[in-house]
Amino acid sequence: MGADLDLRGRRKDGSEFAVEVSLSPIQTADGMLISSAIRDITERKRVEAALKNANHELEAFSYSVAHDLRAPLRAMSGFAQMLLDDHATRLDEEGKDCLSEITTNAVKMGSLIDALLALSRVSRVELKTERVDLAALMRASASRLKADDPSRAVNIVAPASVWVDLDANLARTLVDNLLENAWKFTRGVDGARVELGTTRSKDRTAFFVRDNGVGFDMAYASKLFAPFQRLHSVSEFPGTGIGLATVQRILRRHGGNIWAEGVVGRGATFYFTLPGAPAEIAEGNFAS
């Protein structure tokens, strides 16, 4: 009764308040009766409105800060580069190194801003769910990574197709981030291998992306999906520390979940689940 409607109740003094109405059938000796419960949800509505407002303010703040930081960063990097290009003969090696550090860190900050904006967009974008093939997305992502890093030899293994219900654009971002994470942490591993597959978890299909890279200590597993939290130094494995946080946010927006298992020196596996229609998985594997 009144599903998806903004229902109001009226007190004796004429003031109105938000209500929720539920109806339940009760079979009795005299026939079917209907029990009705009318709940005052004023406090719930207040909390929901405050939370919605806070989220809007946080997103606006992130977007504004990210954009406002770009101009001074570009100026800082540009002037440092001008000094290196036009006045290098007046600088000693220490001075040149300092300017190089300025430009390098400006680039890093730009990458962090881009990552922050990408994470913010995941929360704002309107979901348009459709049937998408995770295996096809993984093949496309692997092709891009191999083109950008042709020196790497990584064996990519997956079923012929894995059809699920997801927003197509966010599904691409999901797969890209999971594969890029595995690609990064298998660097330097002989016979690097990344696998997309499925398994059963609590009577439902769970998907996984598994690699045979450096792995991680399970004692720090809770940090994996927190923005800017890293288990390895930037010098070992460059990155912004935002990819897995983005993956988690995408899955939560779709009503899904993600968790990880790893062993130091023996790789990591990222499992995730999705609600909705069962996955359609084609027999046969592709490997590249």
pLDDT in tens, 58-88: 777 777 776 777 778 888 888 888 888 888 8
Q: Retrieve residue 35's tokens.
A: 């029990």
Give me the mean pLDDT over the 105-134 stretch. Answer: 79
CA angle 192, 183, 201 (to 5 degrees): 90
**Amino acid 271: pLDDT:** 94
Give me the mean pLDDT over the 234-258 stretch. Answer: 81
Q: Retrieve residue 40's tokens.
A: 């005052």
CATH of 129-287, one of 3.40.50.40, 3.30.565.10, 3.90.1150.10, 3.90.79.10: 3.30.565.10
**Amino acid 223: pLDDT:** 83
**Amino acid 71: pLDDT:** 79
Helices of type H across the chain: 42-86, 93-124, 134-148, 168-185, 243-253
Measured in degrees and rounded to the nearest 5, phi and psi for residue 213 equal -85, -145
d(CA 140, CA 257): 24
Weakest-pLDDT range from 78-82, 115-119, 134-138, 187-191: 115-119
Positions of CATH 1.10.287 in the chain: 44-124
Q: What is the overall mean pLDDT for the chain?
A: 84
Arch. (CATH architecture) of 44-124: Orthogonal Bundle (1.10)
Whether this prediction's pTM lies above 0.85 is answered by no
Confidence of residue 193 (pLDDT cuts 50, 70, 90): very high
